[in-house]
Amino acid sequence: MKNYELFTIIKPNLDNEEADKVIARVEEIITTLGGQVSNCDKMGRKKLAYEVQGFSDGFMVNQVITIPSDKITELKRQLKLNDSVIRIMFTKKECA
């Protein structure tokens, strides 16, 4: 299993409690696929550089995860199906 960083932007029209539920759902998807979340940095609501799906701001979350490389496609698919997630960025984390 390899380490990855998952950067997620969640819709800003949700309150903090609902955003936390979305984050918990993302973590549940990761563990269901055989991975684990080693770090979750909730950066809060931030202004975006440009509009994404009609939103000019959003809740930003950066997670360091470990997941089998053959499950990445399924993780991306499930995140895109989540209506509360407006953008994801998935990168391989290089070990120092």
- How confident is the model over 27-41, as pLDDT tens digits? 999 999 999 999 999
Amino acid 96: pLDDT: 55
- How confident is the model over 40-87, as pLDDT tens digits? 999 999 999 999 999 999 999 999 999 998 999 999 999 999 999 999
Rounded CA-CA distance 8/26 in Å is: 10
pTM reported for the whole predicted model: 0.88
End-to-end Cα separation, the chain, in angstroms: 16
Residue 96 within any structural domain of the chain: no
CATH of the domain at 30: 3.30.70.60
Residue 53 within any structural domain of the chain: yes
In total, how many domains does the chain have?
1
Q: How confident is the model at residue 94 (pLDDT cuts 50, 70, 90)?
A: confident
